[in-house]
A and B are shown apart, each in its own frame.
Chain A
Amino acid sequence: MEMKVETGKNIQVNDVSPSGIKIIWQEIKKDKLAMGSLIILAAILLFVYGASFFMDAKEIAKVDFLSIYLEPSSDYWLGTDYGGRDVFGQLIIGTRNSFTISLFITLFTAIIGLSLGLLAGYFGGATDNVIMRVIDFVIALPQLMFIIVVVTIVPIFNVYVFILIMTMFLWTGKARLIRSKALSERELDYIHASQTLGTPHWKIILFQLLPNVSSLIIVNFILNLAGNIGLESSLTFLGFGLPESTPSLGTLISYARNPDVLENKWWIWVPASLMILVLMLSINFVGQALKRAADARQRRG
């Protein structure tokens, strides 16, 4: 009896280890578009985080009425905005803020979605029912409007509150996805075997179920990250996203709501728009490549 349990464990460890990051890395290396995207993404992020380290955010945010709406020049690489602020500096700081904040939103929604999804899928029955009814409700809300209303009525509003509000409304899709995967996974033999052997539920969930939904989580995390960058900048564009003290890419684009800026002062909004497009597309290409890879593996067996 003891021996059997031991060998069971050994097989399991051997099964789990290769299906992790290593396979994903191999899949990316095969896909030229995804590999190129990954390199571009890494280059942008390295540059942005590196450069923002040497930049003085206060200096960039300082209003200078002598240099309003200057065109790009050697002094101001991307010109200045209505307050005479350097657009290039704002672009760097904005990219950093947008990416960091979207990363945190994705991380928190992943944690909530993962825990609730695994619980609902693994236990099924009443647990599943309660969690699913909550998800069904939150998912059917007009989220953009609710986020805007909540942003307006909270008494204190800063970056942390913004991340919290976004997380509150965005965890549901992930939870539903992971729940459906966990639901089918728990019917498989390896889970039944562990249950028969008397392995505690938390151990099965953490060490058996979790590794088996990991590819789904990673793919979903990456695709969501791209989506959240778009959502954050859309909200900031509308004026209900990041507070003014924390400029994001959406802040620069929001100047284009003024028709004069949109028509005649391209240097203010075009670079930030391109930055969002490049970020979102490259993250998406990496994610789509992983998604295809994960699908193909499932089909093959």
Chain B
Amino acid sequence: MATLGDLERTVMDLLWATPEAMTANALRDAIAEAPLGEVGRELAVTTVLTVLSRLEKKGLVERERDSRPHRYTSVTSREDHTAELMHEVLVTAPDREAVLARFVGSVSEAEAKTLRKLLGGS
């Protein structure tokens, strides 16, 4: 049984892979055809629409207003989202310190130099 998270992921993967906007029908067909799809079953269009509206609320997809049926595109690329997420991890803002424990925190340029020396010298 695929979770909503899995479905969202499958839909986003398709939208990221497709340059043009897609309708919910087209998405459903693509999910059904996907090789070894993580979702792995036929979905009702209403399910796809539910997933799309959740993704829209999260600001990940947008709907073309003037088309009927509505066509959906991703707001930004997968790479941009990843960069944004990693920025959250890499930049230690005071109000974020409690969220994540990073293996090695931010390092100053001088510190990085010392570390490199250490690696070269040992």
A and B from one assembly? no
Residues in B lying within 8 Å of A, measured CB to CB: none
A residues contacting B by CB (< 8 A) are: none
